[in-house]
Amino acid sequence: EDQVTQSPEALRLQEGESSSLNCSYTVSGLRGLFWYRQDPGKGPEFLFTLYSAGEEKEKERLKATLTKKESFLHITAPKPEDSATYLCAVRLTNTGNQFYFGTGTSLTVIP
């Protein structure tokens, strides 16, 4: 069965304390892995797409990496405005255009 699992469920960091969020997946055929950010009361906002193991993408304090089993979202020297829920999603090769989302990691950055 195809699964997307995110950990931890919640993470509290001091401002400037770097850490990583994990998205592990067991799927039959990965077409792409996606990271989104969701603020309270808002819809998710696209961050990155990764297609193959070894690929990395960066945006400001965020860097996403991909292996054959998992993806990491590294947050370097986070600021309070990075507080949000981070969602990962996968798109499979055999299920058309569906995106399957994990349950997310709620990140709180304390000043």
Touching another protein, residues 22-61 (CB under 8 A): 32, 34, 36, 41-46, 49
- For another protein, the closer of residues 78 and 104 by Cβ is 104
Q: In this structure, what token pair is assigned to residue 47? A: 């961050």
Q: How far is the CB of 95 from another protein (least distance, A)?
A: 9
Question: Across the chain, which distance is largest between two alpha carbons, in Å?
Answer: 44
Residues 6+ apart with CB under 8 A from 31: 51, 90, 91, 92, 93
Should residue 3 be labelled a site residue for another protein when binding is judged by CB under 8 A? no
State the Rg of the chain over Cα: 14
Cα atoms in the Cβ-side hemisphere of radius 13 Å centred on 110 = 4
Single out the residue of 27, 89, 92, 109 in contact with another protein (rule: CB under 8 A): 89
Single out the residue of 54, 68, 96, 111 in contact with another protein (rule: CB under 8 A): 96
- Residue 12 near residue 75, CB atoms below 8 Å: no
- For another protein, the closer of residues 65 and 85 by Cβ is 85
- Residue 27 near residue 40, CB atoms below 8 Å: no
Q: How far is the CB of 111 from another protein (least distance, A)?
A: 27
Chain residues binding another protein by CB under 8 A are 4, 32, 34, 36, 41-46, 49, 87, 89, 91, 96-104
